[in-house]
Amino acid sequence: MIRDQPLKEINSTGHTHMMWMVNDICPFKCWYCPEGTWGGNSITEEHYTWDECSHAVDVMCDHYEKGWFLLTGGEPTNWIYYTKILQKLHNNPNWSVMTLTNLSRKLSFIEEYIHYNDFVSCSYHPNVIKSDKQRELWFNKIDAIKDKTLVCIRVMMDPQHWDHCLDMFDKLNDSKLYVEPVRISNYIDGYDINTHDAGVDLEFSYTDEQLYILDRLETMRGSDYLKKILETDPLETTLTYTDGVSDKFKSIEAWAALSDLDRKKRTKFKGWDCEIGLNSLYIDPKGDIAKSVCKGARQQMFSSFKNIDNIAWPDRPTVCQYEWCFCDPECLISKRKK
């Protein structure tokens, strides 16, 4: 997929996106997810009203003109304004919506909102979806939505449920789905511990055999899915190596290249010029705004929904200070080695 050569530049177009962590509450509370993503108590109404939210979205849409809103959490489908924001963005032809969800809501609710999404990324957590009945229900939800929008399944390769994960992954060869095996690593260390060892501790949960298999698993991209995503996703990414050779990827192939980089731990860009904020933002559950997830995780916010009319928009690249880029969409933001 990618060359075994050091990188010196990543250049992406069609990658304007707002990464919006709409809440910090999730019913799953997985052992490998940092508590900050599920153990919060941020009550949206205490921080901003719907009118303030709607106005802030209008301002961001006007400034960045065209792109994606990526709604995450917590579990974003539990957010009080979830259906309102979907309906609002659905009426704007320049903006698309992607929801990152664990499909914990009832099927009736999912079927009601699904057509407002251009893309849904569904994380499968076998440490919570444990019984045969739970698993049947979860995959029934996939079957119900895969004809209504683009669907990705991210199989969390839990070492405590390894055989089941492999079995599920092998069975999910469906022309309408994109299926990704996800290596579990402690991305919280990406900003809590700014060292070369950041994120390695959870890998000790895997056996050598499991790591060997993980290194060789590849995403499965269904033919119907590929046709639709190429018509929908404008992303184009060029990877340039230190020997001057470049590889170009379009849409889903760019994400597959990123997955390859991630599995091989090649998402370390400390000292590089990174264009965070120029075509992307991060919004936290309180409505505070940062140039990126890595900045937001460290509470380096530069505006908020309440102050959106006075925002000073980023206008130049930022030198990366961190050992590890742990956010997939931000790994593909244009950046170059200095």
pLDDT at 301 over 90: yes
The tens digit of pLDDT for each residue in 207-250 reads 999 989 988 888 899 999 999 998 889 999 999 999 999 999 99
Q: Distance between CA 326 and CA 308 in Å, rounded?
A: 27
The CA R_g of the chain, rounded to the nearest whole Å, is 19
Average pLDDT, the chain: 91
The tens digit of pLDDT for each residue in 125-134 reads 999 999 999 9
- Residue 13's pLDDT is 95
pLDDT at 303 over 70: yes
Q: Higher pLDDT residue, 161 or 191?
A: 161
Backbone angles phi and psi of 283, in degrees to 5: -120, 130
Confidence of residue 174 (pLDDT cuts 50, 70, 90): very high
Q: Distance between CA 188 and CA 182 in Å, rounded?
A: 16
Contacts of 121 (CB under 8 A, 6+ apart): 98, 99, 100, 101, 152, 154
- Residue 33's pLDDT is 82
Task: Judge contact between 5 and 243, C-beta under 8 A.
Answer: yes
Q: Distance between CA 282 and CA 23 in Å, rounded?
A: 13
Task: Judge contact between 283 and 19, C-beta under 8 A.
Answer: yes
Q: Which runs of consecutive H residues, i.e. helices, occur in 131-186?
A: 132-145, 162-171
DSSP state of 323: S
Residue 156 bridge partners (DSSP): 182
Candidates 80, 86, 105; CA nearest to 28 is: 105
The two three-digit tokens of residue 85, written as one number: 């924001």
The two three-digit tokens of residue 168, written as one number: 């599920």
Q: What are the CA-CA distances from residue 173 to residues 157, 176, 285 (Å)?
A: 17, 9, 36
Confidence of residue 198 (pLDDT cuts 50, 70, 90): low
- Residue 197's pLDDT is 58
Q: What are the CA-CA distances from residue 23 to residues 20, 40, 48, 101, 303 (Å)?
A: 9, 8, 13, 12, 18
Global pTM value: 0.92
Q: How far is CA 253 from the centre of its chain?
A: 16
Let me know how long the chain is: 338
Confidence of residue 89 (pLDDT cuts 50, 70, 90): very high
Count of CB atoms within 10 A of residue 290's CB? 23
Confidence of residue 255 (pLDDT cuts 50, 70, 90): confident
Q: What residue type is assigned to position 276 of the chain?
A: I
pLDDT at 327 over 90: no
What the chain holds in terms of domains, given with CATH numbers, is: 7-336 (3.20.20)
Q: Higher pLDDT residue, 197 or 47?
A: 47
Q: What residue type is assigned to position 100 of the chain?
A: L
Confidence of residue 192 (pLDDT cuts 50, 70, 90): low
